[in-house]
Chains A and B, each alone.
Chain A
């Protein structure tokens, strides 16, 4: 089977930088995605990494190390609206290439 681990909660202040880690165990790794979900809303796609390295999209960046089975989402210049849950999801042949989601990290941004 597949498993993902991410912290349940992270807190930070407005304007700061925060990193949300995700470690995974799977067979036939294909890619790692990140999704954001505000309370009462639907998950929305943020980023995807299939190769090692950093992908940058505005204030958000995502990193992957395939050899370490590890990735992280980096949020810079935090804003109050970034308070949300963040999910990593792994895609692998061991899971029929269907994304398997972690349990999510609740990010709380304080003023």
Chain B
């Protein structure tokens, strides 16, 4: 049982390049999330998927797109990377509507945009 996995762990991009961050969970959770974490800013929600087949914008969606490929996988795409997107990206999953709605986080992707 791996929990939530993310690839890659580290990435360096040049401004204007594109990339996709991959996330998968093996806990049969309905809901998945993408957050970014910047120093002193806590975790800010980019997009989420409450259930397979649905996606919704979070607090900071500009410059990103997502795909809920199936129940296990939720990817985040940067179409044209900008230095402002330098951050640590965390994927999370949860059992929507559960008694505590605990979120389980992946190890993160550390992205630098030059």
Contact = CB atoms under 8 A, between A and B. Distances in A.
Interface in B33-48: 33, 35, 40-45, 48
A42 B43 contact: no
B74 interface: no
A98 B33 contact: yes
A97 B33 CA distance: 13
Interface residues of A, number: 21
Contact of B100 (A31, A41, A97): A31
Given A101-B42, A104-B42, A42 B107 contact: yes
A71 interface: no
Interface in A39-96: 41-45, 48, 87, 91, 96
Contacts of B105: 42-44
A45 B104 contact: yes
Interface string B93-109: 00010001111111110
Given A42-B108, A96-B56, A98-B33, A48 B102 contact: yes
A8 B39 CA distance: 11
A31 B56 CA distance: 21
- Main secondary structure, interface of B, reads loop
Interface string A8-19: 100000000000
Interface in B80-101: 90, 96, 100-101
Contact of B43 (A31, A41, A87, A97): A87
B101 A91 contact: yes
A103 B41 CA distance: 5
B108 to A, nearest CB: 6
B58 interface: yes
A72 B10 CA distance: 34
Nearest to B96: A97
A87 B45 CA distance: 14
A98 B40 CA distance: 21
Nearest to B108: A42
Given A43-B105, A98-B33, A98-B48, A48 B100 contact: yes
A7 interface: no
Given A42-B106, A43-B90, A98 B43 contact: no
